[in-house]
Chains A and B, each alone.
Chain A
C-alpha cells in the first residue's frame, strides 16, 4: 500500500494559514470545528487547491512540490474524493455516475455497494444513504491510490448515520488504501479511523489513536473535542494528590500532578449521577440542578451543574431524573486528567 505523505504544506486561508504535515498509511481522520481547514487539506491532496508551500506525494508519485514547481492536475492524481454533499452528477444515472471515470462497465462496484437495482435512477431519486453508496462506488471505481472522505456522515439523518457508520467501518477496514477523512465529530472519527489528528486554525494539535487522545489529551481543546468535561481552577499539591479549587468554589481531587491555573478533564462515562449525596469511593462530588437530559443513542447525557454524565435510560427512569431537580455528579480522583 502506497503511503500518502503531506510534507509541511501551507495554504493561506481567510483568517489563518493552514500548515501541516501528515503521513497516512491506513485510515486517518482529521477532526476539528468547522472552518479549521479540514476540507482544505483534502482539496489540496486532490489538487483542487494549490498550496503555497510544501510537498505532497503518494508512494513514489510526487503530486505537488512547491520548490520543484510540480503541481499535477486533479485528473492526473489518483484520488477518490467523496464530497460532503456527494456532488453526484444530477443529469446522469447512477450507473453513468459510477462509470464516469472508466472505459469499461463497473458492475462489480454496483454490486458491491448494493446499488445495482438503482442503476437507472437519477441522484435526485435516491435517499441519503443511497447517495453516499453511489458516491463511494464512483470514487472507488476510478481505482484511486488514496481515498478522501469529506464529512462522510454529516449529510445523513441520525437514524441512517448509525447504519452507514457501521458499513463504512467495514469498508475502510477491507479497503487497503490510505484514507483521509475529515469530520467535526470525534465519535465518528474514532469509530472509522485508526489514527486521529485534531486540527484547529489550520494546525494539527495532536495526532494519535482515538484512545490515546482520550487518555492523554495534549490541551484543553483536544480534551473538549474528545468529549470531556472541562473544569477550570487553581491546583495545589496536597500530599500525594492534587487539589483543584474550581472557579465556582467547589474543590476537586485528582491523582494527576499540577499546580497553578489548570483545566481538569473528566469524561462523561466516568461520571456517576445520583439523587442523594453518594457515600462511596468517589472523592469528587458536584451538586447542582439537572440542566438537561439529552438522548444519545442508547444512553442519556445528563448535565448536572457544569458536568455531563452518560448514563443509561434505565438509570434515568430509576432515579426519576428530571430537569431542574437537584442531583449529584460524582467521579473518582483516578478518572480525572489535568490538561
Chain B
C-alpha cells in the first residue's frame, strides 16, 4: 500500500511537472499555424527583428568562440595564482541580473562611461548601435560557452596532449590536431547553450542598445514591443524562437554525447561511417 502511494506521488508529480513545462509551448503553436508563421515573415517588424537577432547573435558567438576558447583552455590546463578568481569572474555574468549587466555596459562603454571618452576620441560611440547588441549578447552569453569549454578541455586525457608532444608536435599542432578534436563535442554543446542564451537576451540589450527597429530590435525586444500592438506577430516570433531553441537543444544533446564518447576513447558518434 505504502509503495503504491509512493508511486502515485512520483508519477503524479512527474506528470504535473512535465505538463507544466510543455503546456506554454503547445499553447503557442495552438495559436500559430505553420501557414500563419510563414505569412508573418513578410511582416517587416518580424523580418527586421529576425535579421537583427541572427546577425548580432552570430557575430557574438564568433567573438565568444575566438576569445572564449583560449580562455577556457588556459583555465583548464594551467594553475596560477588567481586561477579560481578568474574562473569566478568568468561565471559572474551568469548570476548578474541582465538589466544590471546593461547598466554596467552603459557606464563602461557609454559616452560618459569609463572607456567612453577614448571611444569618443576614436570617433565612434557604442551604445544604441547594432554593435551594442552584439556586445550585450556576448557579455551575458559567454559564460555558458566558457564553462562548458573548460569542462570539455578538462575531460580530455592529458596523456593525449603529452603523447602528441613526444611525437614531435609542438603546442599549436597538438592543440589543433588533438585537443580541439577531442573536445569538440563539448565545445559545440557550449556554443549551443550560449547561442540559446544570446538569442533570448532582453534586459542587457534594452538597457545598452535600446529597441530600435532594424537596428537594435532583436526578436525578444520585438515580441515585447508588438505585444499590445500586433499579438499575431508576437505569437509568430515566439514560434520562431521555440523552433530555433529546439534545434539548439538537440545540438547540445548531440554535442554532449559526442564529447563523452571521445573522452572515454570509445567509438565516436560518427565512427561507423568513417571507419567503414
Cβ-defined contact, B271 with A101, below 8 A: no
Cβ-defined contact, B167 with A138, below 8 A: yes
Cβ-defined contact, B166 with A122, below 8 A: no
Proximity string of chain B (146-170) to chain A, C-beta cutoff 8 Å, 1 when within and 0 when not: 0000000000010110111111111
Cβ-defined contact, B165 with A75, below 8 A: yes
Q: Which residues of A contact B97 (CB under 8 A)?
A: none
Q: Flag whether B178 is at the interface (Cβ < 8 A).
A: yes
Cβ-defined contact, A91 with B166, below 8 A: no
Q: Flag whether A234 is at the interface (Cβ < 8 A).
A: no
Proximity string of chain A (95-129) to chain B, C-beta cutoff 8 Å, 1 when within and 0 when not: 00000110000000000000000001111110000
Cβ-defined contact, B268 with A101, below 8 A: no
Cβ-defined contact, B275 with A83, below 8 A: no
Cβ-defined contact, A124 with B165, below 8 A: no
Q: Flag whether B265 is at the interface (Cβ < 8 A).
A: yes
Q: Which residues of A contact B43 (CB under 8 A)?
A: none
Cα–Cα distance between A93 and B268 once the two chains are bound (Å): 12
Q: Smallest Cβ distance from B176 to chain A, in angstroms? A: 12
Cβ-defined contact, B167 with A91, below 8 A: no
Q: Smallest Cβ distance from B172 to chain A, in angstroms? A: 11
Q: Flag whether B181 is at the interface (Cβ < 8 A).
A: yes
Q: Smallest Cβ distance from B268 to chain A, in angstroms? A: 6
Q: Flag whether B130 is at the interface (Cβ < 8 A).
A: no
Q: Flag whether B31 is at the interface (Cβ < 8 A).
A: no
Q: Flag whether A278 is at the interface (Cβ < 8 A).
A: no
Cβ-defined contact, B181 with A91, below 8 A: yes
* Cβ-closest chain A residue relative to B178: A89
Q: Smallest Cβ distance from A81 to chain B, in angstroms? A: 4
Cβ-defined contact, A89 with B163, below 8 A: yes
Q: Which of A74, A85, A121, A139 has the most CB of B within 10 A?
A: A74
Cβ-defined contact, A74 with B162, below 8 A: yes
| Residue from B170, B182, B275 within 8 A of A121 (CB atoms) | B275
Cα–Cα distance between A46 and B168 once the two chains are bound (Å): 11
* Cβ-closest chain B residue relative to A74: B165
Cα–Cα distance between A91 and B177 once the two chains are bound (Å): 10
Q: Flag whether A166 is at the interface (Cβ < 8 A).
A: no
Q: Flag whether B262 is at the interface (Cβ < 8 A).
A: yes
Cβ-defined contact, B159 with A83, below 8 A: yes
Cα–Cα distance between A80 and B159 once the two chains are bound (Å): 14
* Cβ-closest chain B residue relative to A83: B159
Given contacts A83-B159, A89-B178, A91-B182, contact A123 B168 (CB under 8 A): no
Given contacts A122-B267, A122-B271, contact A83 B262 (CB under 8 A): no
Cα–Cα distance between A81 and B168 once the two chains are bound (Å): 11
Q: Which residues of A contact B271 (CB under 8 A)?
A: 122, 124
Cα–Cα distance between A195 and B168 once the two chains are bound (Å): 29
Q: Please provide the chain A residues from 65 to 93 with a CB less than 8 Å away from any CB of chain B in the complex.
A: 73-75, 77, 79-81, 83, 85, 87-91, 93
Q: Which of A47, A101, A124 has the most CB of B within 10 A?
A: A124
Q: Flag whether A142 is at the interface (Cβ < 8 A).
A: yes
Q: Flag whether A171 is at the interface (Cβ < 8 A).
A: no
Q: Which residues of A contact B162 (CB under 8 A)?
A: 43, 46, 48, 74, 81, 83, 87
Cα–Cα distance between A81 and B164 once the two chains are bound (Å): 10
Q: Smallest Cβ distance from B275 to chain A, in angstroms? A: 5
| Residue from B168, B182, B267 within 8 A of A142 (CB atoms) | B168
Cα–Cα distance between A121 and B276 once the two chains are bound (Å): 8
Q: Smallest Cβ distance from B174 to chain A, in angstroms? A: 8
Given contacts A83-B159, A90-B262, contact A125 B169 (CB under 8 A): no
Proximity string of chain B (176-204) to chain A, C-beta cutoff 8 Å, 1 when within and 0 when not: 01100110000000000000000000000
Given contacts A75-B169, A90-B268, contact A100 B275 (CB under 8 A): no
Q: Which of B159, B178, B182 has the most CB of A within 10 A?
A: B159
Cβ-defined contact, B265 with A124, below 8 A: yes
Cα–Cα distance between A48 and B166 once the two chains are bound (Å): 8
Cα–Cα distance between A138 and B164 once the two chains are bound (Å): 11
Q: Which residues of B contact A75 (CB under 8 A)?
A: 165-170
Q: Which residues of A contact B163 (CB under 8 A)?
A: 81, 83, 87, 89
Q: Flag whether B42 is at the interface (Cβ < 8 A).
A: no
Cα–Cα distance between A215 and B167 once the two chains are bound (Å): 40
Given contacts A75-B170, A83-B162, A88-B265, 8 further A-B contacts (CB under 8 A): A47-B166, A48-B166, A85-B159, A87-B163, A90-B182, A90-B268, A101-B168, A125-B275
**B residues bordering A, Cβ < 8 Å?**
157, 159-160, 162-170, 177-178, 181-182, 262, 265-268, 271, 275
**A residues bordering B, Cβ < 8 Å?**
43, 46-48, 73-75, 77, 79-81, 83, 85, 87-91, 93, 100-101, 120-125, 138-139, 142
